[in-house]
């Protein structure tokens, strides 16, 4: 059990420090896009290039200090001279396409003067060693159209931000189709270009999550129904997932210095051995070590058999309890559960509580 507990502690630590990246000052640049999808390419097609264009939206000149790619197969070249307010610069990225047939998703980390955190750009696509049919490339079918996958995860989004992702859709039928999306979750918008797709052709779908339109926290699922020639595809919906955290970009230094700081009296609990069908209860005591109210927006469990009650606010110097109940009916084996607590603390926007144990039949 100790080795499993060690694993979960490591994972929890990674999640906490990864979440700190959401704390930043207001951005000084705007990119025309942050993701470029090369789509399907052949290994013998050689290098593939794209351009990211950015605009200096601040009142001072900015300089791209460096650009680092996540892989030697990706070469970035960028504007070296200072970019004046209101002017634009570029980052040209070349994918060498020399590492074999596989899906690729490479990150390009951009460090800009005056920015508190780097900006992450991405290139992605699928390299093939031999041609494939459109049905092989797009296996997830929704009537006359098909996607590479049936869901989309757009990752972390700060509350109040707007984040977009693009993906391709293919017409796998023998007729032209008009594609649209209906019954969208609040805060979700989807556009298709072109909306009329000829047989065997592809279109680009832009999916945008606007957290200003609907306040959600933590792991959030959005959905939309697909309509083909105005008729809704009824068998299933297309689902989009996001992880929404608090936004600290507008905080002053004084607000950060006096911000709430959550601290758990104990962040892990081992319930030992219990029989399947037993109910497990645990209370975690949380103290606010900061100087302003600690808000607990949500506690994500990732398991429908786990229910959580928590205070919405803990005053400075006070404590509150997160009450956890686990229904083990039908479950067995060694278990590890991570509860992600979403807060308004810049130092700890997300902290994790860990429950481990063994369920026997």
3-state secondary structure 138-149: CCEEECCEEECC
pLDDT at 180: 96
Query: How far, in Å, CA of 67 to CA of 75, rounded?
Result: 9
Give the architecture (CATH level 2) of 132-250: Sandwich (2.60)
Contact 165, 151 (CB under 8 A): no
Contact 114, 65 (CB under 8 A): no
Instruction: Give the tokens for residue 318.
Output: 């006070």
DSSP 8-class letter at 185: P
pLDDT at 114: 79
Class of domain 2-19+252-360 (CATH, top level): mainly beta
97-106 in b/e burial notation, b at 16+ Cβ within 10 A?
A: beeeeeebeb
DSSP 8-class letter at 294: E
Residue 194: cis peptide before it, omega within 30 degrees of 0:
yes
Query: How far, in Å, CA of 30 to CA of 120, rounded?
Result: 12
Query: How far, in Å, CA of 127 to CA of 103, rounded?
Result: 6
Is domain 26-129 in CATH 3.40.50.2300, yes or no?
no
Delimit the CATH 2.60.40.10 region(s) of the chain: 2-19+252-360, 26-129, 132-250
pLDDT at 172: 95
pLDDT at 116: 74
Contact 113, 62 (CB under 8 A): yes
Q: Which residues of the chain have pLDDT under 70?
A: 1-27
Which strand (E) or helix (H) includes residue 14? Answer: helix 2-19
Q: Provide CB contacts within 8 A for 38, sequence distance 6+.
A: 48, 50, 95, 123, 124, 125
**CA torsion sign, 227 to 228 to 231 to 236?**
negative
331-354 in b/e burial notation, b at 16+ Cβ within 10 A?
A: beeebebbbbbbbbbbbbbbbbbb
Long-range contacts of 150-154 (CB under 8 A, 24+ apart): 150/236, 150/238, 150/239, 151/238, 151/239, 151/240, 151/241, 152/207, 152/238, 152/239, 152/240, 152/241, 153/240, 153/241, 153/242, 154/207, 154/209, 154/240, 154/241, 154/242
């Amino acid at each position: 059990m100790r080795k499993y507990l060690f694993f979960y502690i490591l994972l929890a630590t990674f999640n906490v420090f990864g979440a700190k990246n959401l704390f930043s000052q207001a951005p000084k640049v705007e990119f025309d896009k942050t993701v470029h999808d090369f789509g399907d390419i052949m290994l013998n097609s050689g290098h593939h290039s794209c351009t990211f264009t950015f605009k200096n939206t601040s009142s001072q000149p900015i300089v791209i200090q460096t650009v680092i790619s996540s892989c030697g197969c990706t070469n970035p070249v960028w504007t070296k001279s200072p970019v004046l307010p209101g002017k634009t610069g570029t980052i040209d990225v070349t994918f060498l396409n020399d590492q074999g047939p596989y899906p690729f998703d490479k990150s390009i980390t951009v460090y800009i003067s005056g920015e508190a955190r780097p900006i992450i750009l991405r290139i992605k696509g699928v390299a093939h060693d031999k041609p494939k049919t459109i049905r092989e490339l797009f296996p997830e079918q929704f009537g006359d159209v098909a996607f590479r996958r049936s869901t989309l995860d757009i990752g972390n989004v700060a509350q109040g931000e707007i984040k977009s992702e693009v993906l391709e859709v293919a017409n796998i039928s023998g007729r032209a189709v008009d594609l649209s999306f209906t019954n969208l979750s609040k805060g979700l918008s989807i556009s298709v270009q072109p909306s009329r797709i000829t047989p065997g052709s592809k279109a680009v779908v832009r999916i945008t999550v606007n957290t200003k339109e609907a306040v959600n926290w933590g792991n959030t699922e959005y959905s939309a129904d697909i309509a083909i020639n105005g008729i809704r595809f009824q068998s299933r919906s297309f689902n989009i997932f996001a992880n929404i955290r608090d936004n600290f970009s507008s905080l002053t230094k004084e607000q950060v210095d006096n911000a709430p700081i959550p601290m758990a009296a104990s962040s892990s609990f081992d319930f030992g051995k219990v029989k399947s069908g037993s109910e497990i209860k645990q209370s975690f005591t949380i103290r606010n070590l900061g100087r302003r109210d600690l808000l607990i927006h949500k506690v994500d469990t990732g398991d429908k058999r786990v229910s959580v009650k928590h205070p919405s606010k803990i005053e400075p110097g006070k404590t509150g309890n997160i009450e956890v109940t686990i229904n083990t009916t039908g479950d067995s084996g060694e278990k590890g559960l991570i509860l992600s607590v979403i807060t308004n603390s810049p130092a700890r926007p997300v902290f994790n509580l860990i429950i481990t144990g063994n369920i026997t039949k």
